[in-house]
Chain A
Amino acid sequence: MSEHTDSGFDLTLELPLPLPAPGAPEPVPTFETGGAVPCSLAIHSAPGCHQSRCILRLQYRCHGSGTPETVVAASCEVALPSLGAGERQVVVQELAIPVAGPPSYAGEHVKIDWSVVLQAPGRPPCESPILVRPARRRP
Chain B
Amino acid sequence: MRVRAHPRARAASLRLLTAGVGCLALAVTTAALGAAHGWAVPAGLALAGLAFGAAGLAGVRGRLLFSSVSLRLEQEPLELGGAAIVRLECESAGGFLAERLSLHLRCHERALLCDQGREHVFVKKVFEKTVALGERLRVEPGVRLSYPAQFRLPADRAPTFAAASCSLEWSVVLEVQLAGWPAATRDWTVVVAPVIAA
Contacts and interface: CB of A to CB of B under 8 A. Distances in A.
A49 B182 CA distance: 74
Given A101-B159, A101-B161, A109 B109 contact: yes
A112 B162 CA distance: 11
Contact of B194 (A71, A135, A138): A135
Contacts of A108: 109, 124, 126
B188 interface: no
A39 to B, nearest CB: 22
Interface residues of B, number: 28
B167 interface: yes
A107 B158 contact: yes
Contacts of B36: none
Nearest to A112: B161
A138 B120 CA distance: 41
Interface stretch (B66-74, B111-119, B130-138): B111-119
Interface in A93-121: 99-103, 105, 107-110, 112
Interface string B79-118: 1100000000000000000000000000001111110000
Interface in A56-108: 62-69, 71, 99-103, 105, 107-108
Contacts, number: 90
A65 B167 CA distance: 11
Nearest to B107: A107
B122 interface: yes
B24 interface: no
Interface of B: 79-80, 109-114, 120, 122-124, 126, 158-159, 161, 163-168, 193-198
Report, nearest first, the 3 A-B pairs whose CB atoms are least far apart: A66-B111, A101-B194, A139-B198
